[in-house]
Amino acid sequence: MSATKQVVVVGGGFAGLHLVRRLERRLQPGEAAVTLVDRQNYHLFTPLLYQVCTGELPPHAVAYPLRDATAPAGYHFLQTEVTAIDLEHRRVGTADGELPYDHLVIAVGSVTNDFGIAGVRENALPVKWLSDAETLKRHVLDIFESAATETDVARRREALTFIIVGAGPVGVELASSLRDLMDHTLRKIYPSIDFYDVAIHLIEGTDRVLPAMHPKLSAIAMRRLDQQRVRVLLNTLVSRIGPGVVHTKDGAQLRARTIVWSGGVKVNPLVVAIDLPKSKDGRIVVDDRFRASGRDDVLVLGDAAYFGKGLPQLAQVAVLEAPAAARNLVALVRGEPTEPFVYHRKGDLVALGRTQAGAEFAKLGGFVIGGLPAWTVWRVNYLMQLLGVRNRGTLLVEWILSFFAGRLVANTP
Ligand SMILES: Cc1cc2nc3c(=O)[nH]c(=O)nc-3n(C[C@H](O)[C@H](O)[C@H](O)COP(=O)(O)OP(=O)(O)OC[C@H]3O[C@@H](n4cnc5c(N)ncnc54)[C@H](O)[C@@H]3O)c2cc1C
């Protein structure tokens, strides 16, 4: 058997990509052959996905080529669907054959969770992948084209009603940005539409928006959504979604041509199929070195991992975990001792449309700010976090153009 260890990283999301980038700095040439596998050949920067949905950014701004992270380091990239993981024989099964490994990193993220609610998959638009964002944007623009010539008032109002289910960060940011799209771009170019006919409803099952964030951030978001005429329905549980209609558990029926589902995530089906100890929510339980079941050959991180008492499924968690997991992976390749990871939460950011945001700083004891200062923190933070000169350049230029010249509203394929 070759002395060079085979390292296979499954998933080029926040966890997998940042781990691979850290390996480049730590592994000596020839120590290990690293292969990154993903079904897409790009890393999706999900925190800005809602801006693709609402025409603030083009899709390529939030897609970073994975080969840019692998080729310069001498690593391999394989674009394929991973279909199975054989822990016993140390093989990753893909649509294009099998990959043997000595060390495996599972970083496959999560998938949209419909909580078993009937009709979500068939009748609501998800916001998870880049194709979802492009579909949603096209759908919204199509709605405006047809509403521009619709003479029946009731039909026009129904067409111009948008329902977003789930008021976590994705739902809140999307609702706010959708209103901005209408107020600052569409209003100017659809003179035949009365924009008072446009209604945006945001449905949330708990008693506040952004339920996983600091209550002050929820309050800031509520005030802003109110200003933007987004109708927030709290303590409202969805029982079923039919074509153009949301049924709630208290018997109400809300009609809309556009229903967006931003209700949360669940474990990736690949993780479901792996025979390793799992948490109640199905994530793979890892120790403080990211080892699954104490095995030196399987590390798990990001959304797929259940670390400690269960860290939130967030990009910031995956990005913090990656350098520590990379350090441990190198130690395992070399047969050296590993080190525990200690998680230090940074805080939360939420965008609330044009010049508004909310920011909580964990290191300052949960200090919360809103308005323009928070918006500036939000923008600078994401500009810094995005990888790649081309992506950053596009982001900066498109943000400026969208702010001053309006959003991208040509309905291109
Ligand atoms: C719309 C949206 C907005 C978000 N906004 C924020 C935010 O503002 N801040 C924040 O901290 N978090 C945010 N999150 C959460 C964040 O995206 C996740 O927590 C983070 O992406 C998890 O990183 P990961 O590497 O575990 O998974 P991912 O980043 O999802 O990466 C998983 C990768 O695995 C690949 N993959 C999965 N299954 C297979 C397979 N079978 N075969 C091949 N490849 C596969 C996928 O293509 C993907 O590239 C957001 C999530 C969404 C959906």
Cα–Cα distance for residue pair 48/316, rounded to 1 Å: 13
Name the DSSP class of 278: B
Strand partners, 357: 351
Q: What is the pLDDT of residue 413?
A: 79
Over residues 269-299, the pLDDT tens digits come to 999 999 999 999 999 999 999 999 999 999 9
Which residue, among 119, 82, 71, has the nearest Cα to 244 in the 3D structure? 119
Tokens of 80: 């394929």
pLDDT band at 117 (very low <50, low <70, confident <90, very high): very high
Is residue 379 a contact partner of residue 371, using CB atoms and an 8 Å limit?
no
Region of 173 (left: φ > 0; alpha: ψ -120 to 50; beta: rest) is: alpha
Radius of gyration of the chain (CA): 22
| The pair of three-digit structure tokens given for residue 406, joined into one six-digit string | 């309006």
CA 82 to chain centre: 20
Asked whether the predicted pLDDT for residue 125 surpasses 60, the reply is yes
Question: How far is 322 from 304, CA to CA, in rounded Å?
Answer: 13
Whether the CA torsion 19, 23, 26, 27 is positive or negative: it is positive
Structure tokens given for 189: 């170019």
Which pLDDT does position 108 carry in this prediction?
98
With cut-offs at 50, 70 and 90, classify the pLDDT of residue 384. Answer: very high
Residue nearest to atom 51 of ligand 1 (CA): 46
Mutate to test the pocket of ligand 1, among 178, 303, 317, 379 (most ligand atoms within 8 A of CB): 303
Q: How would residue 33 be classed by pLDDT, with cut points 50, 70 and 90? A: very high
DSSP structural state of residue 285: E
Output the CA 63–ligand 1 centroid distance in Å. Answer: 12
Is residue 220 a contact partner of residue 210, using CB atoms and an 8 Å limit? no
| Ligand 1 mutation pick, 37, 38, 82, 262, max ligand atoms within 8 A of CB | 38
Ordered by where they begin, the domains of the chain are 5-112+266-334 (3.50.50.60), 114-263 (3.50.50.100), 346-405 (no CATH)
With a CB cutoff of 8 Å and minimum separation 6, the contacts of 235 are: 204, 205, 206, 207
* Residue 26, pLDDT above cutoff 80: yes
Query: Dihedral sign, CA of 108, 112, 116, 119?
Result: negative
Bridge partners (DSSP) listed for residue 99: 92
397-412 pLDDT per residue, tens: 999 999 999 999 998 8
Nearest residue (by CA) to ligand 1, atom 21, is: 315
Instruction: Choose among 384, 387, 400, 289: nearest CA to 61.
Output: 387
Please tell me the distance between residue 83's alpha carbon and the centre of ligand 1 in angstroms.
18
| CA dihedral over 24, 25, 30, 33, signed as positive or negative | negative
As a whole number, mean pLDDT of residues 106-116 equals 97
- Asked if pLDDT for residue 1 goes beyond 80, the answer is no
Q: And the tokens for 66?
A: 């994975």
Average pLDDT over residues 198-218: 97
| E strand or H helix that includes residue 23 | helix 14-26
Atom of ligand 1 nearest to the CA of 43: 49
In the chain, count of helices (H) and strands (E)?
13, 25
Residues with CB under 6 A from ligand 1: 11-16, 37-40, 46-47, 49, 81-82, 107-109, 127-128, 169-170, 268, 270, 302-304, 313-316, 318
Out of 46, 98, 350, 387, mutate this one to test ligand 1's pocket (max ligand atoms within 8 Å of CB): namely: 46
Model confidence over 75-94: pLDDT tens digits?
999 999 999 999 999 999 99
- Residue 28 makes CB contacts below 8 A (sequence gap 6+) with none
Q: Report yes or no: 321 and 287 within 8 Å, Cβ to Cβ.
A: no
pLDDT at position 2 over 80: no
In this structure, the dihedral spanned by the alpha carbons of residues 100, 106, 109 and 112, taken in order and rounded to 10 degrees, is: 70
User: Of 1-10, 72-81, 93-102, 213-222, which gets the smallest average pLDDT?
Assistant: 1-10
Average pLDDT, the chain: 96
Tokens of residue 171, six digits: 């739902």
Which helix (DSSP H) or strand (DSSP E) does residue 220 occupy?
helix 215-227
Assign residue 264 a region (left: φ > 0; alpha: ψ between -120 and 50; beta: otherwise): left
On whether the pTM is more than 0.85, the answer is yes
Q: At what angle do helices 389-405 and 371-385 cross, to 10 degrees?
A: 150
pLDDT tens readout for residues 133-174:
999 999 999 999 999 999 999 999 999 999 999 999 999 999
> What is the Cα–Cα distance from 227 to 224, expressed in whole angstroms?
5
In this structure, the strands spanning 230-233 and 245-248 are unpaired
Task: Using most ligand atoms within 8 A of CB, pick from 9, 10, 14, 82 the residue to mutate for ligand 1.
Answer: 14
pLDDT higher than threshold 50 for residue 57: yes
The two three-digit tokens of residue 372, written as one number: 């323009």
**Model pLDDT, residue 3:** 74
DSSP character for 152?
-
